[in-house]
Amino acid sequence: MTIGDIKNYLDAKVLTGDELLDKEVHTACGCDMMSDVLAFVKDQAVLLTGLCNPQVVRTAEMMDIVCICFVRGKIPSDDIISLAKDRNIAVLATGMKMFPACGILYENGLAGGASSE
Amino acid sequence: MSDKLRFHYEVSGEDFTRAGEASSDLKAKLKLMGASPEVVRKVAICMYEGEINMVIHACGGVIDVTISPADILLELKDVGPGIPDIEKAMQEGYSTASENIRSLGFGAGMGLSNMKKYSDEMKIDTVLGVGTTVTMRINM
């Protein structure tokens, strides 16, 4: 699945990263606790979150997450978007709630990114 | 040429939004040096969790990084309140962070256990009322 596919499935807006829409995403993680993201996420992931602060981008950066999708209609501030842009991370925003957003991506073949390794 | 590289970071405890800048800088440096993605990831997670801990529990501190051909050593030193019960603090899910910190996405009680999980060796020296030093080694 590509970031562009995610945008379409979730009817999301692209806040930054139009040039990254062809990038492949292998796994997904839906989470508001960043320490859990740091514990479990695998490569080439999309992070779905309702948390809206710069640490979401920092966490994504540490984990090489390629795309952040803010759910529940949250729109991050410009400094958050520009931090993600600098780090080549696509940012999407959807009005969908976390559960249906995750469900739609799962149904369309995106695996969960949890790993206990 | 020396076979060790050293970096020093000052972590401000006043601005949560800036937490992670040191980790971000080190991660970029390691990538440039050509360290393996696995090592880069492990160091980034260990340092970021440590940096966040410094900001939310200890009003900041200093981080010294030593890179040698065999390993990367992270030393995070703060002059915060210290950890009263290390065994408890190491348990997944145990946290003394405030509601405010939780609402920022941290304080799930995963920080120290993540640091242990991703480092090859971790040591915590802590004295109540004096401060805490966390040392982590990640093999190349």
Tell me: pLDDT of B2 over 70.
no
Q: Pick from B48, B61, B50, B79: which is nearest to B14 by CA?
A: B61
Question: Which of B17, B23, B37 is the closest to A54 by Cβ?
Answer: B17
List % helix, strand, coil for chain A (3-state, nearest 5): 40, 20, 40
Q: For A87-107, b where at least 16 C-beta lie within 10 A, e where not — what string?
A: bebbbbbbebebeebbebbee
Q: Say which CATH number the domain at B111 has.
A: 3.30.565.10
Whether residue A86 lies within 8 A of chain B, CB to CB, comes out as: no
* Minimal-distance CA residue of chain B relative to A58: B20
Tokens of B94: 């145990």
Instruction: Measure the CA dihedral A24/A64/B118/B108, to 10°.
Output: -100
Question: What pLDDT is stored for residue A35 in this prediction?
Answer: 85
Interface touch B110/A62, C-beta < 8 Å: no
Interface touch A33/B44, C-beta < 8 Å: no
- Average pLDDT on B40-47 reads 96
Return mean pLDDT, chain B: 93
Structural domains of chain A, ranges and CATH numbers in brackets:
3-108 (3.40.1390.20)
How many structural domains is chain B composed of? 1
Read off the pLDDT of residues B54-96 as tens digits, 9 standing for 90 and up. Answer: 999 999 999 999 999 999 999 999 999 999 999 999 998 899 8
Tell me: pLDDT of B22 over 70.
yes
Find chain B residues with C-beta within 8 A of A115's C-beta.
none
Find chain A residues with C-beta within 8 A of B109's C-beta.
35
Tell me: pLDDT of B119 over 80.
yes
ipTM of the complex: 0.88
In single-letter form, the type of residue at position A18 comes to D
Read off the pLDDT of residues A25-37 as tens digits, 9 standing for 90 and up. Answer: 999 999 999 988 9
Distinct helix (H) and strand (E) counts, chain A: 5, 6
Which CA distances in Å does B129 have to B78, B81, B112, B123? Answer: 11, 5, 19, 19
Interface touch A62/B106, C-beta < 8 Å: no
Question: What pLDDT is stored for residue B82 in this prediction?
Answer: 95
Tell me: pLDDT of B136 over 60.
yes
Distance from CA of B1 to the nearest CA of A (A): 30
Q: What percent of chain B has pLDDT over 70?
A: 99
Q: Pick from A98, A94, A93, A63: which is nearest to A80 by CA?
A: A93
Interface touch A59/B41, C-beta < 8 Å: no
* Separation between Cα atoms, residue A100 and residue B5, nearest integer Å: 48
H helices of chain A, in order, are 3-9, 34-40, 54-62, 78-86, 98-107
Interface touch A64/B41, C-beta < 8 Å: yes
Count of residues for chain A?
117
Question: Which of A34, A39, A64 is the closest to B105 by Cβ?
Answer: A34
Residues ≥6 apart with Cβ < 8 Å to A26: A42, A43, A44, A45, A110, A111, A113
* Minimal-distance CA residue of chain B relative to A57: B20
pLDDT along chain A (117 residues), means of 10: 97 98 95 89 89 95 96 96 97 98 95 58
List % helix, strand, coil for chain B (3-state, nearest 5): 40, 30, 30
Residue B101: pLDDT band with limits 50, 70, 90: confident
Would you tell me how many other CB atoms lie within 10 Å of the CB of residue B9? 17
Whether residue B17 lies within 8 A of chain A, CB to CB, comes out as: yes
8 Å CB contact between B114 and B45: yes
